[in-house]
């Protein structure tokens, strides 16, 4: 809901309020963003207005008629040169060389729709789930000294407690201007006691949470990789010291963008905090000629008084309902088997079909042929760009293998990396000028490959046409779209010297054009984004591809942290997660098969291991896992996700808890995962979240059986005969006899399960073992099923 009360504009979502007003000077003052407050007319906002009459010493007075100091105010749009010394929202170099901008109010109106960008993807509302009609506040500002327009739009997504912001800069003057910064959002808050949280990492170590108390100066979270990056995700949070998972104020912010981004949290000398988010100005310059416009990526903002967890629920619903689109928006995702960690580049039709056959036997629904199927691709030094099947490996081409996989009852999917080229490829020989490189100068390589220049329309058309040929050459149900290097040598051979500063942003625009065209041509294909795992995990990609491979690290323990990190800003329905072999290929850590499944099932479940080498026990365990997941799938993929203790509790730093709850809250599944055993701690407890307090539930565990080999030579304490470790006798007994794991069946009300938690059967502490004791070892985990009595 949006109200204009004279000079005061108030935006309301279900539980939040955002307020601003136009000053006499024409600047837009930010008044409030937080829990819902009542403003029914302009005077109700009086308490929010700053009461400074005499400006602080050594600050600037804006002008004689408006003796305000912009340095000491909360604003919606800031710029350089008029006394506000903080991070600007917009920076322009005018044709006379001046860098001063001063955007003042021109007009305002309420729209009953949301602006659609010409160049960038945006959030949308099809109205099917919303209780309040979509509204947008449009404010037009114009530079006082130059004929440049800035239109800023605030759209209210009432039910999800999200407000988005879009900005368009239009050059109405006759001169060229150089835009060196156009942010997507600015939030000024009149206090300095916030915690700024960012999610940082590296390849195989994405989304580590970092909290920093910004008390003065700046903290910057940004990407320079050409992508949204695994170093710094564009999703960030602001909260208070006292905020926790379920209580306290928490703001969440994200960008609908896949390129270099920038989020800066600053505290000024007057204890005011400012957050700006947008395209990274360090790698950005854009020339706007007469009449030309520039669109800034849409910014997404939410607030919850229900802690990090409340904020995450808002973001999850927003991403599911207003970002992801198309055929697969709410379609259950198939359980896939990917060939990469089973075969790497060493694939051929026979090997792949053997793998697919084993997959079909255990219940897999989609078989994905990863890298290695095209050109002369026997390793990562060659063939990217040559997208014709290698007929030595696939004698019947894509169609041949797709039909055979389909005949096994499975859907068929492939891997592609269309944005790249190897120098050792036919494409490079034909079009060296299509690469991102500076002619005549050496260039850097990542994974032996170069980026294609997606700013060039010929390159975009080549990718669109070639991929259209590939995708229509067989019955392809799924495509994994990979991107395995970061950008360097930013240079487009199709643009003049003046335009080179636009290259990083224009690359992203070119990519969006390609993705839009292909997803429109192939609406039924399920696309999964990937960039060496999570090097481009963002809302821009999710506007086209409904899911993203979260990390090349498939180790369940690492994934506990990585998936927890993603869960702050992204729902489980967009996070690809696979069960892989043990020892793990990225960490060499050995983890139980059940733990690998338990963690991967809190995401879009897949398998990525050599099922042909699996033992009969492993295959039957996998079959059971898949059968269970199929039963739970609607809840696991579309339910509400809650974090509990996630390796961050002061008393239990080794434990991680996740819960997913069905839409009607009648059913839930919880995971308890342990890193290292704490010796001699018999008490075990789990806290469930998201249940209805006054409903009675029963908690049961997924019952497991254990190999006696798990107990080493302790078996001799109960065995009538002495059994040697690694002996044939031990293997023979193990084949026919398995130990029963503990059985849990506990009934109680939702409020008990949530506030006290549930005391579970004790763990093994070295003083005895029977079926009342949980075998809960290093890297052990359990799934608990919680069902209401109704």
Contact region with ligand DGJ (CB under 6 A), list: 401-409, 464-472, 505-513, 527-535: 527-535
Nearer to ligand DGJ, 155 or 551 (CB): 551
Nearer to ligand DGJ, 571 or 576 (CB): 576
Nearer to ligand DGJ, 384 or 463 (CB): 384
Residue list 124-153, contact with ligand DGJ (CB under 6 A)? none
Q: Is 374 in the site for ligand DGJ (CB under 6 A)?
A: no
Q: Is 642 in the site for ligand DGJ (CB under 6 A)?
A: no
Q: Is 533 in the site for ligand DGJ (CB under 6 A)?
A: yes
Nearest alpha-carbon partner for 129 in 154, 163, 159: 159
Q: Looking at 370, 390, 453, 552, which residue is catalytic?
A: 552
Q: What is the DSSP letter of 26?
A: S
Q: Is 263 in the site for ligand DGJ (CB under 6 A)?
A: no
**Partner residues linked to 35 by β-bridges:** 16
Query: Smallest distance from the beta carbon of 181 to ligand DGJ, in angstroms?
Result: 33
Contact region with ligand DGJ (CB under 6 A), list: 33-41, 169-177, 287-295, 526-534: 526-534
Q: State the number of binding residues for ligand DGJ (CB under 6 A).
A: 11
Say how far apart CA 201 and CA 354 lie, in whole Å.
Answer: 37
Select the residue interacting with ligand DGJ from 74, 185, 530, 655 (CB under 6 A). 530
Q: Is 479 in the site for ligand DGJ (CB under 6 A)?
A: no
Q: How far is CA 258 from CA 226, 279, 725, in A?
A: 8, 10, 54
Say how far apart CA 544 and CA 512 lie, in whole Å.
Answer: 8
What string of DSSP letters covers 65-99? SS---GGGS-BSS-BSSSS--S--SEEEE-TTS--
Query: Smallest distance from the beta carbon of 372 to ligand DGJ, in angstroms?
Result: 8
3-state SS of 727-752 is: CHHHHHHHHHCEEECCCCEEEEEHHH
Residue list 20-59, contact with ligand DGJ (CB under 6 A)? none
Contacts with 562 (C-beta within 8 Å, 6 or more apart), sequence order: 201, 205, 206, 207, 534, 550, 551, 553
Query: Smallest distance from the beta carbon of 534 to ligand DGJ, in angstroms?
Result: 9
Select the residue interacting with ligand DGJ from 532, 580, 598, 625 (CB under 6 A). 532
Select the residue interacting with ligand DGJ from 84, 102, 317, 371 (CB under 6 A). 371
Select the residue interacting with ligand DGJ from 266, 386, 552, 555 (CB under 6 A). 552
For 611, the token pair is 């099922």
Q: What phi and psi values does residue 139 have, to the nearest 5 degrees? A: -120, 125
Residue nearest to ligand DGJ (CB): 371
Q: Is 370 in the site for ligand DGJ (CB under 6 A)?
A: yes
**Partner residues linked to 220 by β-bridges:** 264
What H or E segment, with its residue span, contains residue 316? helix 307-318
β 217-222/261-267 pair status: antiparallel
* Residues in contact with ligand DGJ, shown as a per-residue x/- string from 272 to 301 under the rule CB under 6 A: ------------------------------
What H or E segment, with its residue span, contains residue 635? helix 616-638
Nearest alpha-carbon partner for 785 in 659, 685, 628, 668: 668
* Residues in contact with ligand DGJ, shown as a per-residue x/- string from 319 to 348 under the rule CB under 6 A: ---------------------x--------
Q: What is the DSSP letter of 323?
A: I
Q: Is 482 in the site for ligand DGJ (CB under 6 A)?
A: yes
User: Does 482 participate in catalysis according to the annotation?
Assistant: yes
Contact region with ligand DGJ (CB under 6 A), list: 56-64, 253-261, 530-538, 734-742: 530-538
Nearer to ligand DGJ, 17 or 532 (CB): 532
Nearer to ligand DGJ, 484 or 670 (CB): 484
The number of beta carbons lying within 10 Å of the beta carbon of residue 344 is 14
Instruction: Classify 35 as helix, strand or coil.
Output: strand
Contact call for residues 551 and 204 (beta carbons, < 8 A): yes
Query: Smallest distance from the beta carbon of 530 to ligand DGJ, in angstroms?
Result: 5
Say how far apart CA 250 and CA 307 lie, in whole Å.
Answer: 5
- Residue 562: which region, alpha, beta or left (left: phi > 0; alpha: psi -120 to 50)? alpha
* Residues in contact with ligand DGJ, shown as a per-residue x/- string from 402 to 431 under the rule CB under 6 A: -------------x----------------
Query: Smallest distance from the beta carbon of 351 to ligand DGJ, in angstroms?
Result: 16
Q: Looking at 482, 538, 555, 734, which residue is catalytic?
A: 482
Q: What is the DSSP letter of 715?
A: G
Q: What is the DSSP letter of 321?
A: I
Q: Is 352 in the site for ligand DGJ (CB under 6 A)?
A: no
**Residue with token string 């150089």:** 178
**Residue with token string 């007009």:** 107
Instruction: Tell whether the torsion through CA atoms of 330, 331, 332 and 336 is positive or negative.
Output: negative
Q: What is the DSSP letter of 763?
A: B
Q: Is 484 in the site for ligand DGJ (CB under 6 A)?
A: yes
Query: Smallest distance from the beta carbon of 470 to ligand DGJ, in angstroms?
Result: 16
Query: Smallest distance from the beta carbon of 528 to ligand DGJ, in angstroms?
Result: 10
Nearer to ligand DGJ, 314 or 554 (CB): 554
Nearer to ligand DGJ, 295 or 370 (CB): 370
Contact call for residues 633 and 332 (beta carbons, < 8 A): yes
Contact region with ligand DGJ (CB under 6 A), list: 73-81, 239-247, 529-537, 646-654: 529-537
**Partner residues linked to 4 by β-bridges:** 9
Instruction: Classify 355 as helix, strand or coil.
Output: helix
Q: What is the DSSP letter of 567?
A: H
Query: Smallest distance from the beta carbon of 621 to ligand DGJ, in angstroms?
Result: 24
Nearer to ligand DGJ, 304 or 422 (CB): 422
Query: Smallest distance from the beta carbon of 340 to ligand DGJ, in angstroms?
Result: 5
Nearer to ligand DGJ, 304 or 532 (CB): 532
Say how far apart CA 322 and CA 320 lie, in whole Å.
Answer: 6
User: Does 552 participate in catalysis according to the annotation?
Assistant: yes
Tell me the catalytic residues. Answer: 482, 552
Residues that bind ligand DGJ in the complex, under the rule CB under 6 A: 340, 370-371, 415, 482, 484, 530, 532-533, 549, 552
């Amino acid at each position: 809901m949006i109200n204009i009360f004279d000079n005061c504009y108030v935006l309301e979502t279900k539980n939040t309020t955002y307020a601003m007003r136009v000053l006499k000077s024409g600047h837009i003052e930010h008044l409030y963003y937080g829990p819902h407050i009542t403003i029914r007319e302009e005077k109700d906002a009086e308490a929010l207005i700053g009461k400074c009459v005499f400006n602080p010493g050594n600050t600037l007075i804006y002008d004689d008629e408006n003796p305000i100091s912009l340095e000491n105010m909360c604003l919606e749009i800031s710029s350089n040169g008029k006394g506000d010394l903080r991070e600007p929202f917009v920076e322009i170099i005018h044709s006379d060389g001046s860098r001063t901008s001063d955007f003042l109010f021109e007009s305002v109106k309420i729209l009953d729709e949301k602006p659609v960008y010409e160049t960038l993807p945006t959030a949308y509302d099809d109205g099917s789930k919303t209780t309040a009609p979509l509204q947008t506040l449009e404010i037009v500002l114009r530079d006082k000294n130059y004929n440049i327009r800035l239109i800023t739009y605030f759209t209210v997504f009432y039910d999800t407690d999200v407000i988005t912001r879009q900005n368009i800069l239009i050059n109405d003057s006759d001169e060229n201007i150089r835009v060196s910064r156009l942010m997507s959002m600015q939030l000024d808050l009149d206090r300095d006691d916030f915690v700024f949280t960012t999610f940082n990492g590296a390849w195989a170590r994405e989304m580590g949470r970092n909290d920093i108390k910004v008390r003065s100066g700046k903290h910057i979270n940004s990407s320079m990789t050409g992508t949204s990056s695994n170093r710094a995700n564009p999703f960030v949070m602001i909260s208070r010291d006292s905020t926790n998972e379920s209580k306290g104020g928490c703001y969440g912010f994200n960008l609908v963008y896949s390129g270099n981004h920038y989020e800066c949290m600053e505290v000024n000398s007057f204890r005011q905090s400012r957050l700006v988010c947008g395209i990274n100005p360090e790698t950005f310059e854009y020339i706007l000629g007469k009449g030309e416009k520039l669109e800034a990526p849409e910014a997404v903002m939410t607030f919850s008084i229900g802690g990090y967890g409340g904020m995450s629920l808002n973001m999850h619903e927003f991403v599911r309902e207003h970002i992801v689109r198309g055929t697969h928006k709410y379609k259950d995702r198939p359980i896939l088997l990917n060939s990469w960690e089973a075969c790497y580049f060493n694939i051929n039709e026979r090997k792949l079909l053997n793998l697919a056959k084993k997959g079909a036997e255990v219940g897999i629904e989609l078989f994905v042929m990863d890298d290695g199927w095209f050109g002369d691709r026997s390793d990562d030094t060659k063939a990217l760009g040559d997208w014709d099947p290698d007929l030595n490996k696939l004698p019947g081409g894509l169609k041949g293998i797709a039909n055979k996989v389909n005949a096994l009852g499975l859907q068929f999917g492939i891997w592609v990396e269309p944005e790249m080229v190897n120098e050792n490829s036919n494409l490079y020989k034909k079009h060296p000028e299509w690469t991102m490189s500076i002619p005549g100068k050496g260039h850097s390589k990542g994974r032996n490959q170069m980026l294609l220049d997606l700013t060039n329309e010929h390159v975009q058309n080549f990718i669109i046409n070639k991929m259209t040929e590939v995708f229509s050459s067989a019955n392809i149900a799924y495509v994994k779209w990979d991107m395995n290097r970061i950008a360097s040598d930013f240079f487009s051979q199709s643009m003049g010297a003046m335009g080179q500063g636009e290259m990083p942003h224009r690359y992203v625009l070119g990519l969006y054009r390609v993705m839009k065209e292909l997803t429109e041509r192939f609406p039924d294909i399920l696309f999964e984004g990937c960039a060496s795992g999570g090097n481009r995990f963002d809302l821009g990609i999710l506007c086209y591809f409904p899911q993203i491979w979260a990390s090349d690290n498939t180790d369940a323990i690492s994934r506990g942290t990585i998936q927890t990190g993603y869960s702050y800003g992204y729902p489980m329905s967009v996070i690809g997660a696979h069960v892989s072999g043990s020892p793990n290929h990225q960490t060499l850590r050995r983890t139980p098969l059940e733990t690998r499944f338990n963690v991967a099932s809190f995401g879009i479940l897949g398998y990525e291991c050599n099922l042909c080498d699996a033992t009969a026990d492993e295959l039957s365990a996998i079959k059971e896992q898949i059968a269970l997941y199929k039963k739970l799938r609607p809840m696991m993929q579309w339910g509400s996700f809650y974090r509990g203790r996630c390796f961050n509790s002061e008393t239990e730093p080794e434990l991680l808890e996740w819960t997913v709850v069905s839409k009607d809250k009648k059913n839930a599944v919880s995971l308890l995962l342990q890193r290292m055993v704490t010796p001699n701690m018999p008490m075990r407890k789990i806290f469930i979240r998201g249940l209805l307090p006054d409903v009675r539930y029963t908690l049961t565990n997924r019952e497991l059986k254990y190999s006696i080999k798990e107990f080493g030579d302790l078996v001799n304490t109960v065995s009538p005969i002495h059994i040697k470790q690694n002996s044939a006798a031990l293997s023979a007994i193990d084949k026919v006899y398995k130990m029963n794991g503990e059985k849990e069946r506990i009934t109680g009300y939702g409020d008990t399960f949530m506030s006290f938690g549930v005391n579970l059967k004790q763990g093994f502490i070295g003083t005895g073992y029977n079926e009342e004791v949980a075998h809960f070892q290093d890297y052990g985990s359990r799934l608990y099923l919680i069902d209401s009595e109704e």
